[in-house]
């Protein structure tokens, strides 16, 4: 076919002049964009009238269920008819990034923050400081582990709402078949011995299951073991990393040993807490550590094959005792919120002892007095006695503004060790070398 | 001036005014699109470029220290970036190649005069119609070590001794599983492009080849393949660039693990920007990715032009 006459250039191609114009526009865009970086701005948030619409961001994973939160919110709106709350739910692993991405626009008025974020969100002013608003009675009435959740360098950036740590769950039927007494699971040595017995008697191929996917869940499990083996993430002055020596190293060596002995299910490396819950509920694991919400989930006959066969035990002890990882979370008012007054009312309501006690089934209250509240104990006959003991001793992940970067490095290097690509010592030394500039 | 000439000149004048009028209309019609392109493409691109020269470590505007090219230097000397680039390259080459091969087979099959051809064509397009997020979630379930279909099928067919972990036990296996999920989804797109290309090849060529005694393989190699080259080239450009930017399927299926074995360059960029709030490092990485894609696209386009001239 011949080309139509008169078209020296094929259509769709840019002429030189057009290209020049386009570049000019692009350059203009660049200059405009440049003004924006240097220009001021900051957060356009404000107190607001205390009425109207607010948006809240929650997670859909562990602790209070979506239904719990919707019911709490409905009750709040009944009591405060002039405030409308629109809750949004995301997976835990998307929560941090969504808070960050939504911050400049002030999309959410209330956000759920994890215990590892106050340093970052506080110093970057993504959430508001509420030190002056938290009544003294709350500070004395809430448990210490809960209070740390919202605190950084003595200032409060939210109100504790979820007080959680990982407990040891055991399938009593499987243990019984191997002749293991659940009492022997009070130490990690006892857990190892039980796992070997379960494997030797062919009760189950892999007795142990963990949340070791390359996400924050891995660090939670690791932290719990670091505590048991007497390790520390940071040196006492907080300016140097310390996880590559002593208990930090022993914890990773323990993890690796359970894989080498084929006691830990290799699927652990692709599992988060909810995968552990599902497999445990199917009878696919004899022992696992997980958050409080697994108690009611695994004992629910509608969704679990092991209902009635679940033992909830304190996290096992190592040579240095048995602190649980502090996995608490708090509710914060964002600095971009244009209705901070209404947002604070909502936060105050959700975190009140009354509401926390009412929904204690999936998440234990942050208030000390709640643990002697008859209704709370009755709702959780299995956990409350264990929680009373374990919540008194918790281990924190490092509270530094650049925690996420340290966590990412650790996750990758711990998995290198778990997959046998590096020795535990080498992996942690490598992580430490990379993390060093992040804490100084 | 004769009557006729006047008539012509008037007509020319009319054409001219209506032309400038229609040009104005065209610009007016283009304006919304131009505003949109400026707002969502040019402005963010410009801003990201500027940010990449600073040390922006919070989502808010403010006065940040100017670093010049330091972010680019830091990124290029970070071992994790090169590892992620390696994974991206592997993903791009293997998935694009597999999609082309399977897509070609599928296209030939769909072009065959079969009964119920419309039904097959509809079924084949289904994977491509699935959102990538859904596709990733689906494959994660299929590959789940405990209750996934793949392990069940393999053991019941006697092809495997026991259940194994596909996404957690070996970084290289996991990377290939992500490739497989991508290939499953995008093969249908490639097939449809090639099917369109096939339909432009005149039937007479095949008839003539048959008369000359050429078999099916020979006519595929001598007629189909050469005439499909332009289509293949377009598919190649599209798929390579798309594959190079792979993010969502990794986010859903593996989260970059195990041992960062499925971390691609865009996933690493995302972690830097949003998880670590190192927006400048993220922007620098994004620009380097753009440069790489641009280079690829230019090479492809040059090859295409050489062929067509």
Q: Which two tokens stand for residue A308?
A: 């009635």
On whether the A167-325+402-439 domain is CATH 3.90.1150.10, my answer is no
Q: Which two tokens stand for residue A334?
A: 């964002």
For residue A257, count other CB atoms closer than 10 A to its CB: 13
Q: Residues A150-177: what's their mean pLDDT? A: 95
Could you tell me which chain A residue has the CA closest to the CA of B47?
A: A33
Q: Which residues in chain B have Cβ-Cβ distances shorter than 8 Å to A416? A: 259
CB B61 to CB A279 under 8 A?
A: no
Can you tell me the distance from the alpha carbon of A6 to that of A17, in angstroms, rounded to the nearest whole number? 19
pLDDT, residue A36, reads 52
pLDDT digits (tens, 9 = 90+) for B229-277: 889 988 988 899 899 999 999 999 999 989 999 999 999 999 999 999 9
What is the least distance, in Å, from the CA of B151 to any CA of chain A? Answer: 13
For residue A81, count other CB atoms closer than 10 A to its CB: 8
What is the least distance, in Å, from the CA of A266 to any CA of chain B? Answer: 6
Can you tell me the distance from the alpha carbon of A129 to that of A375, in angstroms, rounded to the nearest whole number? 33
Of B56, B167, B260, nearest to A412 by CB-CB distance is B260
Q: Which residues in chain A have Cβ-Cβ distances shorter than 8 Å to B308? A: none
Q: Residues A196-211: what's their mean pLDDT? A: 97
Give the count of domains, chain B: 1
Of B57, B164, B259, nearest to A412 by CB-CB distance is B259
Question: Is A296 in contact with A361 (CB distance < 8 Å)?
Answer: yes
CB B146 to CB A408 under 8 A?
A: no
Q: Is the pLDDT of residue A24 over 70?
A: no
Can you tell me the distance from the alpha carbon of A165 to that of A250, in angstroms, rounded to the nearest whole number? 21
What is the least distance, in Å, from the CA of B56 to any CA of chain A? Answer: 9
Can you tell me the distance from the alpha carbon of A425 to that of A224, in angstroms, rounded to the nearest whole number? 19
Q: Which two tokens stand for residue A337?
A: 């919120």
Q: Residues A313-333: what's their mean pLDDT? A: 94
What is the least distance, in Å, from the CA of B181 to any CA of chain A? Answer: 17
Burial of A75 (0-12, 13-18, 19+ CB in 10 A): middle
Q: Which residues in chain A have Cβ-Cβ distances shorter than 8 Å to B255? A: 93, 213-215
CB B50 to CB A124 under 8 A?
A: no
CB B47 to CB A266 under 8 A?
A: no
Residue with tokens 């707002």, as numbered in its chain: B39
Domain boundaries, chain A: 52-164+327-395, 167-325+402-439
CATH number at residue B109: 1.10.3720.10
Question: Is A229 in contact with A250 (CB distance < 8 Å)?
Answer: yes
Phi, psi at residue A192, to the nearest 5°? -60, -45
pLDDT, residue A420, reads 95
pLDDT class of A30 with cuts at 50, 70, 90: low
Q: Which residues in chain B have Cβ-Cβ distances shorter than 8 Å to A99? A: none
pLDDT digits (tens, 9 = 90+) for A403-436: 999 999 999 999 999 999 999 999 999 999 999 9
pLDDT class of A70 with cuts at 50, 70, 90: very high
Q: Which residues in chain B have Cβ-Cβ distances shorter than 8 Å to A106? A: none
DSSP-assigned letter for residue B161? S
| Mutation target vs B (from A93, A267, A273, A334; most B CBs, 10 A cutoff) | A267
| Mutation target vs A (from B64, B151, B168, B286; most A CBs, 10 A cutoff) | B168
CB A270 to CB B167 under 8 A?
A: yes
List the end-to-end C-alpha distance of chain A, in Å, as a whole number. Answer: 70
Q: Which residues in chain B have Cβ-Cβ distances shorter than 8 Å to A101? A: 59, 274
Q: Is the pLDDT of residue B124 over 70?
A: yes
User: How many inter-chain contacts (A to B, CB under 8 Å) are there?
Assistant: 149
Boundaries of domain holding B132:
81-308
CB A126 to CB B59 under 8 A?
A: yes
pLDDT, residue A238, reads 83
Residue with tokens 């432009």, as numbered in its chain: B200
Q: Is the pLDDT of residue A9 over 50?
A: no
CB A32 to CB B51 under 8 A?
A: no
CB A213 to CB B255 under 8 A?
A: yes
CB A39 to CB B50 under 8 A?
A: no
**B241 found inside a domain:** yes
Q: Which residues in chain B have Cβ-Cβ distances shorter than 8 Å to A402? A: 276
Could you tell me which chain B residue has the CA closest to the CA of A214?
A: B257
Q: Which two tokens stand for residue B296?
A: 């690829």
Question: Is A28 in contact with A259 (CB distance < 8 Å)?
Answer: no
CB B42 to CB A412 under 8 A?
A: no
Q: Percent of chain A at pLDDT above 70?
A: 90
pLDDT class of B118 with cuts at 50, 70, 90: confident
CB A120 to CB B271 under 8 A?
A: no
Residue A364's nearest CA partner among A396, A340, A387, A344 is A387
pLDDT, residue A10, reads 44
Q: Which two tokens stand for residue B72?
A: 């680019």
**B164 found inside a domain:** yes
Q: Is the pLDDT of residue A23 over 70?
A: no
CB B255 to CB A126 under 8 A?
A: no
CB B275 to CB A279 under 8 A?
A: no
pLDDT, residue A5, reads 40
Could you tell me which chain B residue has the CA closest to the CA of A269?
A: B168
pLDDT, residue B139, reads 96
pLDDT class of B161 with cuts at 50, 70, 90: confident
Beta strands, E only, chain B? none
Question: Is A242 in contact with A234 (CB distance < 8 Å)?
Answer: yes
Q: Is the pLDDT of residue A4 over 90?
A: no
Can you tell me the distance from the alpha carbon of A264 to that of A288, in angstroms, rounded to the nearest whole number? 10
3-class SS letters over chain A = CCCCCCCCCCCCCCCHHHHHHHHHHHHHHHHHHHHHHHCCCCCCCCCCCCCEEEEEEEECCCCCCHHHHHHHHHHHHHHCCCEEEEEEEECHHHHHHHHHHHCCCCCCCEEEEECCCHHHHHHCCCECCCCCCCCHHHHHHECHHHHHHCEECCEECCEEEECCCCEEEEEHHHHHHCCCCHHHHHEHHHHHHHHHHHHHCCCCCCCEECCCCCCHHHHHHHHHHHHHCCCCCECCCCCCECCCCHHHHHHHHHHHHHHHCCCECHHHHHCCHHHHHHHHHCCCCCEEEECCHHHHHHCCCCCCCCCCCEEEECCCEECCECCEECCCEEEEEECCCCCHHHHHHHHHHHHCHHHHHHCCCCCCCCEHHHHHCHHHHHHCCCHHHHHHHHCCCEECCCCCCCHHHHHHHHHHHHHHHHCCCCCHHHHHHHHHHHHHHHHC
CB A93 to CB B59 under 8 A?
A: no
**B68 found inside a domain:** no
Burial of B261 (0-12, 13-18, 19+ CB in 10 A): buried
Question: Is B171 in contact with A422 (CB distance < 8 Å)?
Answer: no
pLDDT digits (tens, 9 = 90+) for B50-78: 999 999 999 998 889 999 999 999 999 99
What is the least distance, in Å, from the CA of B9 to any CA of chain A? Answer: 22
pLDDT, residue B16, reads 55
Residue A434's nearest CA partner among A396, A408, A416 is A408
Can you tell me the distance from the alpha carbon of A330 to that of A121, in angstroms, rounded to the nearest whole number? 12
3-class SS letters over B69-85 = CHHHHHHHCCHHHHHHH
Q: Is the pLDDT of residue A380 over 50?
A: yes
CB B271 to CB A268 under 8 A?
A: no
**B69 found inside a domain:** no
Question: Is A255 in contact with A246 (CB distance < 8 Å)?
Answer: no
pLDDT, residue A14, reads 53
pLDDT, residue A144, reads 87
CB B49 to CB A33 under 8 A?
A: yes
How far is the CA of A240 from the CAs of A168, A394, A432, B44, B157, in angstroms? 31, 21, 9, 38, 54
CB B42 to CB A93 under 8 A?
A: no
Q: Residues B193-204: what's their mean pLDDT? A: 93
CATH topology of domain A52-164+327-395: D-Maltodextrin-Binding Protein; domain 2 (3.40.190)
Of A30, A97, A411, nearest to B49 by CB-CB distance is A30
């Amino acid at each position: 076919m011949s080309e139509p006459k008169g078209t020296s250039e094929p259509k769709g191609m840019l002429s030189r002049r057009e290209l020049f114009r386009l570049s000019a526009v692009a350059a203009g865009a660049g200059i405009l964009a440049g003004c924006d970086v240097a220009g001021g701005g900051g957060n356009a948030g404000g107190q607001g009238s205390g009425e109207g619409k607010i948006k809240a961001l929650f997670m859909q994973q562990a602790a209070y269920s979506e239904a719990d939160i919707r019911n709490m919110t409905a009750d709040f709106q009944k009591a405060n008819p002039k405030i409308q709350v629109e809750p949004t739910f995301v997976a835990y692993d998307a929560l941090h990034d969504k808070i960050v991405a939504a911050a400049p626009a002030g999309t959410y008025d209330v956000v759920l923050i994890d215990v590892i974020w106050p340093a970052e969100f506080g110093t970057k002013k993504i959430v508001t400081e509420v030190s002056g608003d938290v009544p003294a009675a709350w500070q004395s009435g809430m448990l210490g582990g809960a209070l740390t959740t919202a605190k950084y360098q003595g200032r409060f950036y939210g109100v504790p709402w979820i007080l959680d740590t990982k407990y040891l769950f055991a399938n009593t039927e499987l243990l019984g078949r191997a002749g293991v007494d659940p009492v022997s699971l009070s130490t990690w040595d006892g857990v190892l011995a039980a796992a070997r017995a379960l494997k030797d008697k062919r009760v189950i191929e892999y007795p142990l299951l963990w949340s070791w996917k390359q996400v924050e869940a891995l660090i939670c499990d690791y932290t719990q073991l670091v505590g048991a083996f007497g390790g520390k993430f940071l040196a006492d002055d907080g300016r140097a990393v310390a996880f590559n020596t002593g208990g930090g190293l022993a914890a990773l060596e323990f993890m690796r040993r359970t894989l080498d002995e084929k006691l830990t299910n290799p699927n652990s490396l692709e599992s988060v807490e909810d995968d552990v819950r599902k497999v445990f509920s199917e009878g696919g694991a004899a022992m696992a550590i997980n958050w409080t919400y697994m108690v009611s989930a695994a004992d629910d006959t509608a969704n679990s094959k092991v209902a009635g066969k679940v033992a909830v035990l304190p996290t096992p002890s190592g040579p240095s005792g048995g602190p649980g990882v502090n996995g608490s979370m708090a509710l914060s008012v964002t600095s971009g919120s244009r209705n901070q007054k209404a947002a604070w009312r909502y936060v105050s309501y959700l975190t009140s002892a009354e509401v926390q006690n009412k929904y204690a089934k999936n998440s234990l209250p942050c208030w000390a007095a709640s643990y002697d509240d008859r209704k709370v104990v009755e709702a959780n006959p299995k956990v409350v006695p264990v929680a009373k003991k374990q919540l008194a001793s918790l281990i924190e992940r490092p509270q530094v503004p650049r925690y996420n970067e340290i966590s990412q490095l650790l996750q990758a290097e711990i998995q290198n060790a778990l997959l046998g690509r590096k020795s535990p010592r080498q992996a942690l030394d490598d992580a430490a070398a990379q993390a060093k500039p992040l804490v100084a | 001036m004769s009557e006729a000439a006047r008539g012509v000149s008037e007509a020319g004048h009319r054409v001219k005014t209506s032309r400038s009028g229609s040009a104005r209309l065209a610009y007016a019609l283009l304006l919304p699109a131009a505003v949109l392109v400026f707002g969502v493409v040019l402005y963010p691109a410009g801003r990201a470029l500027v940010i990449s020269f600073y040390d922006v470590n919070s989502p808010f505007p403010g006065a940040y220290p100017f670093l010049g090219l330091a972010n680019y230097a830091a990124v290029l000397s970070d071992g994790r970036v090169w590892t992620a680039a390696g994974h991206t390259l592997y993903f791009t080459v293997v998935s694009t190649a597999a999609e082309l091969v399977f897509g070609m087979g599928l296209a030939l099959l769909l072009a065959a005069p079969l009964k119920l051809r419309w039904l097959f064509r509809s079924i084949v397009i289904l994977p491509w119609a699935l959102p990538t997020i859904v596709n990733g979630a689906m494959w994660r379930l299929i590959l789940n070590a405990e209750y996934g279909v793949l392990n069940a099928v393999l053991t019941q067919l006697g092809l495997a001794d026991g259940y194994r972990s596909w996404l957690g036990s070996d970084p290289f296996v996991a990377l290939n599983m992500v490739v497989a999920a991508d290939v499953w989804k995008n093969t249908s797109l490639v097939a449809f492009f090639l099917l369109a290309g096939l339909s432009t090849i005149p039937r007479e060529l095949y008839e003539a080849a048959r008369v000359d005694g050429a078999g099916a393989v020979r006519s595929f190699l001598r007629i189909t393949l050469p005439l499909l080259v332009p289509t293949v080239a377009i598919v190649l450009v599209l798929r390579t660039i798309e594959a190079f930017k792979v993010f969502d399927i990794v986010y859903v299926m593996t989260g970059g693990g195990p041992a960062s074995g499925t971390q691609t360059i865009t996933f690493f960029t995302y972690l830097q920007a949003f998880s670590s709030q190192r927006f400048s490092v993220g922007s620098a990485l994004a620009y380097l990715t753009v440069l790489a894609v641009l280079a690829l696209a230019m090479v492809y386009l040059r090859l295409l032009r050489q062929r067509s001239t």
